[in-house]
Amino acid sequence: MRPFVKRAAVAAATTQDGEIRQRRWELFVRLFALTCLAVALDVITTYIGIRRIGYRFEQNGIALYLIRNLGWDGLTAFLALACAACVRSFKLVYWHLSLEWGRWLNVLVAVLCLFRWVVVTSDILWLMR
């Protein structure tokens, strides 16, 4: 009887872990979608800003390098591939590492999302002036 109780406790813990992982994964998907939307809007505002005042609009050297060398289509493709790789990697982490990893990744993505939306908002306000 005792091994059955242990197996039931392990199954309950596994089910509870699975529910926590699922909730955290769903939160990540929402946060990451908002982050990707902010990145897409940032690319659009950067395009508008560069068309309006030239390359001095973009202050990020890496982004400027990518825009000049890949073009807008290449930059869009690069960002799409980077997002797909990020989702795949995060999914592996959420479902195979400890629960703490999922929690901290959600915090990281939430901070990143907030930062991207601040950038997009400031770009839009600057373009509207």
56 in a structural domain: yes
The answer to whether 105 touches 90, Cβ cutoff 8 Å, is yes
13 in a structural domain: no
Distance CA 23, CA 103 (A): 10
pLDDT of 2 reads 56
Residue ranges, the chain, pLDDT below 50: 1, 5-12
Total of domains in the chain = 1
Residue 25 corresponds to which amino acid?
A: W
pLDDT of 107 reads 95
76 in a structural domain: yes
57 in a structural domain: yes
Q: Cβ neighbours of residue 50 under 8 Å, at least 6 residues apart?
A: 57, 58, 67
pLDDT of 5 reads 45
42 in a structural domain: yes
Q: What is the pLDDT of residues 48-63, one digit of tens each?
A: 988 899 888 888 888 8
2 in a structural domain: no
41 in a structural domain: yes
3 in a structural domain: no
Q: What's the pTM value of the predicted model, to 2 decimals?
A: 0.78
Q: Which domain holds residue 112?
A: 20-128
The answer to whether 103 touches 31, Cβ cutoff 8 Å, is no
- Does an H or E element contain 97, and which? none
The label of the residue with tokens 């509207």 reads: 128
